[in-house]
Amino acid sequence: MPALRMAGITKHFNGVPACFDVDFEVAPGEIHGLLGQNGAGKSTLMNILLGLVRPDRGEVTLAGEPAVIRDPNAARALGVRMVHQHYSLIPTLSVWENVVLSGEGRVDRDRTIGQIEEVSERFGLEVSPRAMVGDLSVGEQQRVELVTCLIDRPRLLVLDEPTAVLTRQESRSLFTMLRRLVDQDGCSVVLISHNLAEITAVAHRATVMRGGRVVSRVIPAETPVTELARHMIGRDLPGTPDVAAAIGADPVPIAGEPAAMTEPEPADTEPVLRIVGATATHDGTRALDALDLEIRAGEIVGVAGVEGNGQQWLSALLAGSLPLQDGEVRVHGRRVPVGRPGSTRKAGVGVVPEDRKTSGCILDMSVADNLALAGLKSLARAGVVSRRKLHSLAERLVEEFDIAVASVDQPMRSLSGGNQQKVVLAREMSAGPAVLVLAQPTRGLDVGAVADLHERMRQAAAAGVAVLLISSDLNEIMQLSDRIAVIYRGRIQGELARAEADPEKLGLLMGGVSA
């Protein structure tokens, strides 16, 4: 009898299926890998198990008993616990206080501390109950989360990308502990991961999801990594022809055929943007780890990778807001003092950030102001901004980029997400950048807007701009990039010319395996 059986699970969000008719089974005392890209439906499936999301259809059975899980408390009562990717700890409280918070009943410090010590001894999880959580490293914080879950003696433990923030050493000890947990206590573990080597090493069985469906069930130890990679990415990588046609692009040739769109510049030209050994941390966690990247004029380089592997930091670095501990960024051979406000913009780098609302535009200023933001100085004479010039600039860009506004004086806040994105794009592209960085640029755009954006990117590249496309949408990357760099845990795991990129190679690189 399986420890967990989820049958026929279907969940739609706004009419879009996140999970479709998913069957998922975990045996008692096994570590079960759950593999897939972003948007594969892993999180939705686990959120349903935890009672955070209600399925449209489907049944959950725990150890043969049908279970109705309405919220995480119900899940806990049934012995199901989860360690989320982002910990839910309160940094200003001590370890034992955090443990108490997730429990029930009276607060009993001595009893709680006793429980923590017992659990940490049994599983070799070093945790000092009186330490302040804010003082702990990320690995230690994860141990606190684990202890909190293990005190309840769960029969099913879900871990969401547990090693993403851990050092190799910490990961190894986590896996040792997980094996002990399944062997000694008969607990079952679901391990969500996109790290192929990891799944191969520790999971007894694995389920691979893609596009909301289960695509395969495998025994990782007996399955070649390359096959796992292929399952994860899928064979139809460059997009089914109709999708590609819908966004106005011809299906891109896969392996073998040479790229037709732009002739890659000869390799000996000096790169416009050169990042060498960029290393940075943020709030004590590794953000970039000796990242190297070069882009030449007229080239579109796509940065692919599973989200959360440092894409946002690469984008922040090029926006000039992430200081480096080591390494350097050069534009046209000149070193840029990154981390200093406006440093990269001054060097000719334009960034369309991923979170346009918080770091791309100013919601409470007008559309015209937002369009002029980067070039205010050129609109000013003797320190006074010319309203006339500002308006004519705004009118021109609104026209050119087809931004739907009633008036350029309209507040940015009142625009749709797609139009806000167009405003940011119009501003960055009109500034005449040497390097244009676009992070997840098509997210939230409709099909027409996507096609338009892609056309503009090609035009920019054709005009000699070095374009860096950071996207978790592989179709987009494959359609546009001359070269594809795969980012994994803050460094470039490998680079592929588009002609040599295939699902297997991409999947391996995204899973942290060197191709």
Partner 1 sequence: MAGLLASLRGSTRPATEQVLAFLAFLSLGIGVGLLLGWATGHDPGVILGDLFEGSIGSSISIGYMLTAAAPLLLVAVGAVICMRAGQFNIGQEGQVTLGAIGAGFVIFHVDASGPVTIVLAFAAAALAGAAWAFLAALLKFGRGVDIVVSSLLLVFLAEQLLTALISGDGPLHDDGDGVLGGGTASQSPRVPEKSMLPTIHVLGVDVPLAFVLALVAAVLVAWFLSSAHAGYRLRILGQNPAVAGTIGISAPRLGSLAVAASGAFAGAAGGAILMGQSFQLNPGVSSSIGWSGLLIALAARTNASVSVLLALVFGAMVAGGGLLGGDGIPVDIVNVITAAIVVALLCPPVLLAALRRRRIRRSVEA
Size of the site for partner 1 (CB under 8 A): 31
Q: Does 320 bind partner 1 (CB under 8 A)?
A: yes
Among 70, 86, 106, 377, binds partner 1 (CB under 8 A): 377
Measured from the CB of residue 288, what is the shortest distance to partner 1 in angstroms?
18
Site string for partner 1, 322-341 (x = CB under 8 A): ------------------xx
Measured from the CB of residue 499, what is the shortest distance to partner 1 in angstroms?
35
Contact 370, 414 (CB under 8 A): no
Alpha carbon distances (Å) from 174 to 17, 147, 228: 34, 12, 23
Q: Does 47 bind partner 1 (CB under 8 A)?
A: no
Phi, psi of 437 (to 5 degrees): -110, 125
Beta strands in 421-480 (DSSP E): 435-439, 466-470
Output 245 or 362, the one with its CB closest to partner 1: 362
**Cα gap 380→288, rounded to integer Å:** 38
Matching residue, tokens 């439906």: 41
Of the candidates 360, 378, 380, the residue with the CA atom closest to the CA atom of residue 370: 360
Residues facing 224 on adjacent strands: none
Among 192, 232, 351, 486, binds partner 1 (CB under 8 A): 351
Q: Does 498 bind partner 1 (CB under 8 A)?
A: no
Measured from the CB of residue 345, what is the shortest distance to partner 1 in angstroms?
6
Q: Does 383 bind partner 1 (CB under 8 A)?
A: yes
Q: Does 374 bind partner 1 (CB under 8 A)?
A: yes
Output 211 or 339, the one with its CB closest to partner 1: 339
**Cα gap 470→437, rounded to integer Å:** 8
**Cα gap 279→290, rounded to integer Å:** 5
Measured from the CB of residue 389, what is the shortest distance to partner 1 in angstroms?
12
Output 266 or 383, the one with its CB closest to partner 1: 383
- Of residues 353-372, which lie at the interface with partner 1 (CB under 8 A)? 358-365, 369
- Of residues 230-289, which lie at the interface with partner 1 (CB under 8 A)? none
Q: Does 376 bind partner 1 (CB under 8 A)?
A: yes
Q: Does 495 bind partner 1 (CB under 8 A)?
A: no
Measured from the CB of residue 421, what is the shortest distance to partner 1 in angstroms?
15
Half-sphere exposure of 8 (CA within 13 A, CB side): 4
Output 201 or 380, the one with its CB closest to partner 1: 380
**Cα gap 312→306, rounded to integer Å:** 12
| Three-state SS at 67 | strand
Measured from the CB of residue 498, what is the shortest distance to partner 1 in angstroms?
30
Q: Does 420 bind partner 1 (CB under 8 A)?
A: no
Among 188, 321, 420, 475, binds partner 1 (CB under 8 A): 321
Measured from the CB of residue 38, what is the shortest distance to partner 1 in angstroms?
24
Beta strands in 105-149 (DSSP E): none
Among 124, 186, 241, 342, binds partner 1 (CB under 8 A): 342
Enumerate residues 6+ apart whose C-beta is below 8 A from 210: 36, 37, 40, 231, 232, 233, 234
Output 18 or 437, the one with its CB closest to partner 1: 437
Give DSSP secondary structure letters for 226-245: HHHHHHHH-S-TT--HHHHH
Measured from the CB of residue 249, what is the shortest distance to partner 1 in angstroms?
30
Residues facing 281 on adjacent strands: 286
Q: Does 131 bind partner 1 (CB under 8 A)?
A: no
Q: Does 406 bind partner 1 (CB under 8 A)?
A: yes
Q: Count the Cβ atoms, other than its own, within 10 Å of residue 67.
A: 19
* Pairs from 64-71 (Cβ < 8 Å, separation ≥ 24): 64/1
Among 57, 153, 282, 346, binds partner 1 (CB under 8 A): 346
Element (H, E) at 420: helix 417-430
Output 1 or 406, the one with its CB closest to partner 1: 406
Q: Does 440 bind partner 1 (CB under 8 A)?
A: no
Measured from the CB of residue 344, what is the shortest distance to partner 1 in angstroms?
8
Site string for partner 1, 197-236 (x = CB under 8 A): ----------------------------------------
User: Tokens in use for 69?
Assistant: 């899980």
Output 77 or 362, the one with its CB closest to partner 1: 362
Q: Residues of 279-301 as b/e, b for ≥16 C-beta within 10 angstroms? A: bbeeeeebbbbebebbbbbbbbb
Q: Does 434 bind partner 1 (CB under 8 A)?
A: no
**Cα gap 480→300, rounded to integer Å:** 7
Measured from the CB of residue 404, what is the shortest distance to partner 1 in angstroms?
11
**Cα gap 358→89, rounded to integer Å:** 25
Q: Count the Cβ atoms, other than its own, within 10 Å of residue 379.
A: 17
Q: What are the residues binding partner 1 (CB under 8 A)?
A: 319-321, 340-346, 351, 358-365, 369, 373-374, 376-377, 380, 383-385, 387, 406, 414
